[in-house]
Amino acid sequence: MTGKFDAQQAVTDRIIAAIEAGTPPWQKPWTGERGGAAFPMRACREPYRGINVILLWLEADAKGYTSPFWFTYRQAQEEGAQVRKGEKSCPVIKFGTFEVDKGDVATGDDGGPRQVMFTKLYNVFNADQIDGLPESYYRRPEPARDLGTEPDAELAAFFAATGAAIDTSDDPRAYYNPVTDRIHMPPVGTFLSAGAYYATLAHEATHWTGHGSRLDRIKKFADRTAYAFEELIAELGNVILCTHLGLTPDFEQSAAYVESWLKALKEDKRAIFRAAAEGQKAADLLIQLAGPEDKEAAA
């Protein structure tokens, strides 16, 4: 008899394997010539969140899907469409609660109902695996967008609207200083492209959200191991924000960070879930601070 399936462990094992193979799901621009990363969307056009974003990006990369939309088998049928024969589904995770009665008849203890958290997997298919959907669910190739090395007015306005203090100097480092609560960036002209500049800024802006006056996250990561976890949060927040802005995420290439991430993931199967949740909160805050107009433009 097989043991109970552990959804969190299965997800963590999959991501560890991707990192160890040198291809974490968020590290390369899966779009290639597809016109920008596709943020995973449910059939109802509601965006996925947290760990499911990472899972579906990983699947899209492996299979070359270009559509952002994912359907259950039944949802496809409800659209009058059909999943092609032989297509394999991708598991995503549903989080929820159910009520149980904690009363103990033997002791007469009527503890009353309790809410218990649960996770379970369900299967979805990308629109590219389905025939007969409305055209709006498919994503057609579009020309690559080359921003060059000049600032992009819309992206600059987005980050300015967040209220983050950004300093620029010839110092060839990009970083967030939690003591001064300021971001430092090298000049945009020193980057290979404006996209690379704003993707790097997105990473540092994610760190900025962790200040005590905002999401109050930075002070929790005082030691070296914990700080590496904060870097993972920044990477995931960066990747979520960048896809909203139509950018290819920029990533630290430090082997030390990757080693720390692997250690954290292997020691705690819930680490990637916590990091994804914190990264989502950071991206949400930046989009909220930028205002409704910027949010609509970035979605």
The predicted-structure confidence for 54-106, as pLDDT tens digits, reads as follows 788 878 877 878 899 999 999 999 999 999 999 999 988 887 777 776 655 55
Helices (H), 79-221: 153-161, 194-208
268 in any annotated domain: yes
- Pair (171, 204) in one structural domain: yes
What is the arithmetic mean of pLDDT over 120-136?
93
Of 90, 111, 137, the residue at which a domain comes to its end is 137
- Pair (246, 287) in one structural domain: yes
Would you say residue 30 has pLDDT above 50?
no
* pTM > 0.75: no
147 in any annotated domain: no
Of 107, 137, 167, the residue at which a domain comes to its end is 137
Handedness of CA 167, 284, 48, 295 (dihedral sign): negative
Would you say residue 24 has pLDDT above 50?
yes
User: pLDDT digits over 277-286, tens only?
Assistant: 999 999 999 9
What is the arithmetic mean of pLDDT over 156-184?
91
* Number of domains, the chain: 2
Please report the pLDDT score of residue 222 as a whole number: 60
Please report the pLDDT score of residue 1 as a whole number: 38
- Pair (267, 222) in one structural domain: yes
- Pair (17, 78) in one structural domain: yes
11: containing domain: 7-137
1 in any annotated domain: no
User: pLDDT digits over 223-266, tens only?
Assistant: 655 666 787 888 888 888 987 888 866 555 445 556 666 777 77
- Pair (216, 262) in one structural domain: yes
Residues making up the chain, counted from first to last: 299
User: pLDDT digits over 36-57, tens only?
Assistant: 456 899 999 999 988 888 788 8
Of 81, 103, 137, the residue at which a domain comes to its end is 137
End-to-end CA distance of the chain: 47
- Pair (122, 228) in one structural domain: no
- Pair (129, 170) in one structural domain: no
Hey, which residues does 175 pair with through a beta bridge?
Answer: 184
Helices (H) and strands (E) in the chain, counts: 9, 9
Q: Where residue 296 falls among pLDDT bands split at 50, 70, 90?
A: very low
- Pair (116, 245) in one structural domain: no
